[in-house]
Amino acid sequence: MRKPCPSDLTEEQWEIIQPLILVNTVGRPRTVEVREVLYTIFSLIRSGCQWDILPHDLPPRSTVHDSSSQWRCDGNWQEIMDALRRRVRVAVGKGPSPSAGSSVSPTVKATESVDGRGADGDQKVTGRKRHIVVDTLGWLLVVVVTTTSAADGTSALEVRARLSAEHRSRRELLWAASMDQNHRLEGWLEENVAGSRIEGVRRPPWSKGEVKLPRRWVVEPTFAWLGLYRRNRRGDERSAGSSEAMIKVSSIHRMLRLLKPNTS
């Protein structure tokens, strides 16, 4: 019996997420509880621990890594995140699906071993780009990790393409950096999301330093709480898909804490 970790869930939090987890019932019976696997993943992203140095009282690395990869490939992480976000929005008096969102594409540092690492001349950072879309409350809708050489306007096509049918049905307005606006993206919106438009948010010409831009400021707190999960402070995941999954898991963990706060 291991000692509880600060990132572990309460019973109420576990009851929320348990029905959402896809469990493979084919093959040999499980020797490790799904709950312990999930707790290990939460501990990994919260502490920034490497796979090779997981504490010995946690499940084996291979078991946890394989389960996490399977949930990523099956789209289960995205499904869980979408389900929890709907609950959070309803809990604060909003509709389950947002009608507007904000987009931003910062570059984070990354080590030499990751795929697609490059230099971003504008932000003066060598690493990867994280393209994210959040709702008006700052909760994650979509995340796409690309090379730094990918233009924001072009990568935005992939980001918008990943929006689920639910998001597309209600998406009316998307605020983004002015460089995100291009004819290819606007044409895609006209063809795929009827009645939607993208609106660029520009810095005032007189501004200097940090400026709170209208509508786009809701993205900044999202990156702030992502940084609380040490695994996300740098883009050191070897594959872009793994990096995206870690960000989604962080959002899942935070929403569970919000829905059922730990009062003990």
Please report, for the chain, the start and end positions of each structural domain, with discontinuous segments joined by +. Answer: 97-235
Q: Which residues lie below 8 Å from residue 157, measured CB to CB, with a gap of 6+?
A: 184, 185, 188
Structure token pair of residue 16: 């929320």
Angle value at C-alpha 129, between 126 and 130, nearest 5 degrees = 140
194 vs 229, which has greater pLDDT? Answer: 229
pLDDT tens by residue, 219-253: 778 888 888 999 998 888 888 899 999 999 999 99
89 vs 174, which has greater pLDDT? Answer: 89
> 159: closest CA among 126, 134, 139?
134
Distances (CA, A) of 15 to 9, 18, 246: 9, 5, 22
pLDDT tens by residue, 22-67: 987 777 778 889 999 999 999 999 999 888 888 888 999 999 999 9
Distance CA 150, CA 129 (A): 8
97-235 has which CATH code?
3.30.420
